[in-house]
Amino acid sequence: MASTLRVVIVNNFSGPRVGRYGLRALPLLRGLIARGAKVAVVAAAGSGFAHDALNAGAEVTAISMARFRAPQIMRAIKDTAWRINANVISGTGYFTNLLVRQAAPKGVVIVNTASRLPDIPMEYFGGRVEVSFRELIDKTKRHRNDAYVAISDAVADALQRQGVSAEEIFVIPNGIDADAFARAAIEYAGSGAPKFPGSDLKGRPLVFCAARTMDATKGVDVLAEAAVMLLRDWTDEQRGLSSVEGSAGGSAEGNAEGNADGGLDETPFIPAPNFRVAGSGPEKNVICDYIRGEGIGDRFDVMGFAPMIAPWYRACDIVVMPSRSEAAGVVALEAMALNKPVIASRVGGIPEVVLDGETGLLVEPDDPAALADALKQLLLNPARARALGEAGGRRVRHCFTEAQMVDAYVDLFTALTEGRA
């Protein structure tokens, strides 16, 4: 039972938002508290995660998470565990997993979250950490660790390939409150981004990519190449199954559909799409130089970091994930919450979320021609794009809910603590 659980969650993200790992940890702690568990948090002082955890009813210890403060952080973890008589301590990422293994008092169940795929450079404390998954496991795996929570089957498989026993691994996919996310897209009143969906879209279809941290793994360069191919071939004679005229922000929702027999309607041409990328990082300047050099700067905009991107999902017609590596696919879940079709690379955990031909289209990574072709298929067929998006909306609400995620954690924590008793 959750009421018997006393859980310490450690998160080191120091920004004003909750951070990537916080997007999972915050719903978890809220769900645990709602189910009667005692929850304490060790988090970065001044962080959005610490603020939101406190508002959710957790006991919060706020401390500097600078790497040279590791001894003090471990002391804070140990003191927090003693104070609430914790029976579970959970790290949320690479650094916090290291810390909880070192700091957990004897007898406390230790759960580590594995949320990365092998051999992917990590951004940490402002620099890139090149580390193979085997090196990470060798450095952090201790006999005291009781369980790894993998966020996808792809991550679980990678853990096993690197020597972790299958008995230690429990797959708990990310969950999302799809209806709340959809409401946020409608109700949010501020800009939330350097630019906001509006008249600059000029009635054109909108292709949206939420890259967040624009490093090589996100594949935004592949999307840029695909956009060049698509826009160069686009002509004013392009026609599709339905018109996008009259749509708000470029969205094809609510427009006429094709003939009953599936044939082409004689409709006004579909104008060439606009592309928007929300994100910033080491690849941004290179990509901006490329798109300007190719002459598509008026159609392809890298907007920078966007703390509130739900309105962009709502405004767009297609969401693209051109990633070279992806452990799970949170962006896909967010897009599906807004009933948007997803075109994504067939890598990592993405195929576990996006069903090819059912909720979106999957293409091979690093193949801009294939990505351009997939985009063209859905841009010229808004009715099909809409059907895929609606199927995605049903899937995310059935298979990837926050409640399911929290229930899985409660079951795991309960089983581990009962086994320890």
Question: In the prediction, which pLDDT does 243 show?
Answer: 37
Residues 6+ apart with CB under 8 A from 294: 224, 228
How does residue 395 score in pLDDT terms, banded at 50, 70 and 90? very high
pLDDT in tens, 80-126: 999 999 999 999 888 898 899 989 999 999 999 988 875 555 443 33
pTM of the complete model: 0.85
Contact 54, 11 (CB under 8 A): no
Q: Give the whole-angstrom CA distance, residue 156 versus residue 171.
A: 7
The mean pLDDT of 193-213, rounded to a whole number, is 73
Q: Percent helix, strand, coil in the chain (nearest 5)?
A: 45, 20, 40
Question: In the prediction, which pLDDT does 193 show?
Answer: 42
pLDDT in tens, 167-190: 999 999 999 999 999 988 877 644
Question: In the prediction, which pLDDT does 20 show?
Answer: 65
254, 255, 261, 265 alpha-carbon torsion, rounded to 10°: 180
Contact 303, 277 (CB under 8 A): yes
Report the Cα 402 to chain-centroid distance in Å: 14
Residue 366 pLDDT greater than 70, yes or no: yes
Residue 137 pLDDT greater than 80, yes or no: no
Contact 349, 329 (CB under 8 A): yes
Q: Provide the pairing of β-strand 342-345 with 318-321.
A: parallel
Question: In the prediction, which pLDDT does 413 show?
Answer: 96
Closest to 374 (Cα-Cα) out of 397, 394, 354? 354
Give 124's strand partners. Answer: 127
Q: Report in angstroms the alpha-carbon separations of 206 from 5, 87, 268, 312.
A: 46, 49, 17, 9
Mean pLDDT over all residues of the chain? 84
For the chain, what is the radius of gyration of the CA atoms?
A: 22
Question: In the prediction, which pLDDT does 310 show?
Answer: 86
Q: Give the whole-angstrom CA distance, residue 156 versus residue 114.
A: 8
Range list of H helices, 144-283: 153-161, 178-187, 220-233
How does residue 336 score in pLDDT terms, banded at 50, 70 and 90? very high
Closest to 108 (Cα-Cα) out of 324, 375, 376, 417? 417
Q: Report in angstroms the alpha-carbon separations of 397 from 175, 176, 335, 403.
A: 9, 8, 12, 10
Residues 6+ apart with CB under 8 A from 389: 335, 336, 338, 339, 340, 341, 359
Q: Give the whole-angstrom CA distance, residue 159 versus residue 368.
A: 30
Question: In the prediction, which pLDDT does 401 show?
Answer: 97
Structural domains in the chain plus CATH codes: 2-175+401-420 (3.40.50.2000), 178-399 (3.40.50.2000)
pLDDT in tens, 372-381: 999 999 999 9
Contact 283, 290 (CB under 8 A): no
Question: In the prediction, which pLDDT does 378 show?
Answer: 96
- Helix count (H) and strand count (E) of the chain? 15, 15
Q: Provide the pairing of β-strand 318-321 with 206-213.
A: parallel
- The enclosing H or E element of 213 equals strand 206-213
Q: Give the whole-angstrom CA distance, residue 29 versus residue 50.
A: 12
Lowest mean pLDDT among 99-113, 208-222, 249-263, 353-367: 249-263
Q: What are phi and psi of 321, to 5 degrees?
A: -125, 90
Q: Give the whole-angstrom CA distance, residue 30 versus residue 25.
A: 9
Residue 68 pLDDT greater than 80, yes or no: yes
